[in-house]
Amino acid sequence: MENLVKKVIGAYAAAFIMLGLMFFVPAGTIYYWQAWIYLILMFFVAGAISIYLFRHDKAVIERRMRLKEKEEPQKKIIKIGSVFYLILFIVPGLDFRYGWSQVPFEVIVLADAIFLFGYYLFFLTLKENPYAARTIEVEKDQRVVTTGPYAIVRHPMYSAVLLIMFITPLCLGSYWGMLATIPMFPLIVFRILNEEKVLAENLPGYREYLKKTGYRLIPGIW
């Protein structure tokens, strides 16, 4: 337990430092208020979710701490995706520095609200599915989850991640940063298709779930 707490705190600290560098160095100043609001919201919500999981289901945190992907297609997707994640976080700072975008305050506030909703969906997914790990794998005694957000779409975790990712540039006051989100959509699609293949082959009952729940990411669309 103590070791897990140290790992989580260490991961949060490293993430805070890395994000801070990606925001404030390109911006050329620490007076980038949109980035400060974003960081505060992100780590407050992430911390609250972690506290909840520590109290109710520590196994979820342990699974989320696993970063080594086993599936080769997933490794390639993660490598490509990491490049666009860097662009996604660096461009808004440059945008702030050189004044490329003029995002109204009201739009930024609305974007922050949508960002929080995305994390709420993320939390509901973790709460409903204790096997929602970062890596694609099937564990012993794992069961198919069909309740909560999983009754609406097959991959609510990715729905939440896409929403958070897409709205992030607006939270940071940048229109240009949204261009970096475009390549992330096909990458998520490829990741989902490979994940469904792995789960259908290795998780009992998943093929039936695929037939029952028709939409993968967005109800009524795909």
Q: Which element (helix H / strand E) includes 55? A: helix 33-56
Is 86 within a domain?
yes
Where in the sequence is the domain holding 134, given as residue range(s)? 2-212
Q: What CA–CA distance (Å, rounded) separates 197 from 15? A: 31
pTM (two decimals): 0.87
The total of structural domains in the chain comes to 1
Is 222 within a domain?
no
Is 81 within a domain?
yes
The answer to whether residues 38 and 175 touch, using CB atoms and an 8 Å cutoff, is no
Is 143 within a domain?
yes
Determine the pLDDT at residue 42: 92
Q: Tens-of-pLDDT digits for all 222 residues of the chain?
A: 668 778 888 888 898 999 999 999 999 999 999 999 999 999 999 889 888 888 887 878 777 777 677 777 778 888 888 888 899 999 999 999 999 999 999 999 999 999 999 999 999 998 888 887 777 778 777 888 889 999 999 999 999 999 999 999 999 999 999 998 998 888 899 889 988 998 898 889 999 999 999 899 888 888
Determine the pLDDT at residue 67: 66
Check which CATH number belongs to the domain holding 117 and give it.
1.20.120
Is 219 within a domain?
no
The answer to whether residues 16 and 85 touch, using CB atoms and an 8 Å cutoff, is no
Is 65 within a domain?
yes
